[in-house]
A and B are shown apart, each in its own frame.
Chain A
């Protein structure tokens, strides 16, 4: 989960990294009152978004009066920066900047270890800085003490480890004219897989990276993998997209290959969804019901590879349960094989029959990609 600047800064502060004095203005809050509360004349107003490159996209305003703050807050909350939803506006003291550095810690897949990246040339153009002026330090995850001579490195390392971050980035790390190091920005991504040791993460409001708030359906699907059997199969992945073909894929790799195949055949997905790891019937049912509840669908593609141990029968039973309730009129194509494939395909066939569904069923005699073509033809003919 990616954090907003104001959330990331709170974590920095907790681990001893200085941040500018400031506060957040949320929708519905009175900007001028917040400005008065802060009590600093020269401030920076910053749109709170989940992506970077905000400074280059007019997401930052300098203000020195109540009127300017009011106007900045109003404008920033009403724009969508590079497709990113603005959740709030943070106002904070304008720093007296002497230098802007860059420091971050993340995982490097080649080293298979955390790496600290440091440059004395931080700021909005960090990605343009030549490689030789960026230092990379491979860190030993077995040691909580760092031996690198980089400002704020130890504090950032503590934050990275204790908070289970996948990324902790300060850009710019400002050196003020009076010699203090201050984190002028914060980019923190938390590792969702470490949720079981972070009770406090429940307090973060829901979010997506799609430049909008999560939809009701997205929030609902996430709940499927919560509760006692959270690690018994995954069925909580649902990302709403602009197309009209409902997707029920099984397996991460298969879903990726299938999304490519669907696009290649000219169909647009209404969602991206994938269940895997032999989820119980109930989980698949809950997922399928939400996937099929999206308005405006023109087709449904149920596809997965030759399963190893996921029961085609149990998972398809979950899908059949949802189809029995919703009884879609649009074409449906299913392709799946693996344990209990005969039973699984048979019960889906029976479900199609009793509900008069327009459904075509396939096993492993043809590839998944080929069934995308079948669906394309069915959708074209049903219009």
Chain B
């Protein structure tokens, strides 16, 4: 069980010939993920780790057929066209690992995917893992370390931070539990897949008994959870850590003007934690408490 992928999910890697792309291909293959090929314009006909490289996504899809996930490993300036290529070829799930994509490019890709039933995870997402089944991207790191941290279990993990996806998963394991899936949603302002989207999947997944979230202050994504809980769309135990309390001591920095204040009116960090707690979410003071909070439900 788990979410997003299964044993047979066919994965394409755009940018497979680059340093990071090759590393990701190796990481996925060694974890048993079915990587079927890659794309790099101008390098069609070559192979990486025995997998065929194609000049375009279309060529790859025509020959391989039924690609279900494309993982994007290209430099930031090439990200928009790579993502659009995957969208145009109707690949249903796209994981964008690329960091520092201009926000305008991200928004454009989201708009292009809208209404096509395409799920984009990221940008700036290291990927996701279903222990014992497979992984997209490099979550967990090399196989031996991944196995120290991840084992099939009942705790779903969602994190805004790539490093903390692993660290929180480790705290869960250290407390004697396993994970049903761990997803790094990405750290950018705009998220292709939000907490809410994933909680819907975890709600339906029988192997998931409880979910923990490593959140960060800023953005309004946590409030979507409150609405969900109120509507009983998610009823499993949920623990959340919201990082970044120290930032309130910094000058009213990163936002100038009033637009941010208007868009996010009444949705500050303190209000976030309170609203979550009022909706029945367990709040962790320190991140390692996430594991303790859900232990009784595993």
Contact = CB atoms under 8 A, between A and B. Distances in A.
Specify whether A and B are partners.
yes
Nearest to A194: B102
A142 B160 CA distance: 27
Nearest to B254: A209
A193 B244 contact: no
B224 A209 contact: no
Interface in B67-105: 75-77, 99-104
B61 interface: no
B103 A166 contact: yes
Interface stretch (B31-39, B48-56, B258-266, B270-278): B258-266
Given A257-B287, A263-B246, A364-B170, A52 B258 contact: yes
A339 to B, nearest CB: 5
A50 B149 CA distance: 45
B286 A369 contact: yes
Interface in A178-195: 187, 189, 191, 193-194
Interface stretch (B4-12, B107-115, B203-211): B107-115
A282 to B, nearest CB: 16
Give the bracket for the number of chain B residues in contact with chain A: 35 or more
B267 to A, nearest CB: 10
Contacts of B259: 104-106, 117, 167, 169
Secondary structure class of chain A's binding surface, majority of residues: mixed
Nearest to A162: B104
Contacts of A264: 286
A193 B160 CA distance: 19
Given A126-B262, A253-B187, A257-B287, A305 B163 contact: yes
Contact of A309 (B138, B216, B288): B138
B246 A259 contact: yes
Nearest to B251: A83
Given A141-B104, A194-B102, A189 B262 contact: no
Contacts of B101: 193
Contacts of B191: 109, 112
Contacts of B142: 309, 339
Residue of A131, A142, A166, A250 with most chain B CB atoms under a 10 A cut-off: A166
B287 A127 contact: no
Contacts of B126: 308
Nearest to A259: B246
Contact of A189 (B111, B160, B214, B256): B256
A141 B105 CA distance: 9
Given A106-B260, A252-B187, 13 more contacts: A51-B252, A109-B219, A112-B110, A141-B108, A189-B257, A209-B251, A251-B164, A254-B161, A277-B99, A308-B163, A309-B27, A309-B141, A368-B287
A161 B108 CA distance: 11
A330 interface: no
B244 A256 contact: yes
Contact of B139 (A107, A276, A308): A308
21 contacts: A52-B257, A104-B258, A104-B262, A109-B221, A115-B263, A117-B259, A127-B258, A142-B112, A187-B256, A191-B103, A197-B77, A209-B254, A256-B161, A257-B164, A307-B141, A308-B140, A308-B163, A308-B166, A309-B141, A337-B170, A370-B288
Contacts of B246: 256, 259-260, 262-263
B103 to A, nearest CB: 5
A164 interface: yes
B198 to A, nearest CB: 15
B167 interface: yes
A73 B190 CA distance: 41
State the 4 A-B residue pairs at the shortest beta-carbon distance, nearest first.
A253-B161, A251-B163, A305-B167, A187-B257
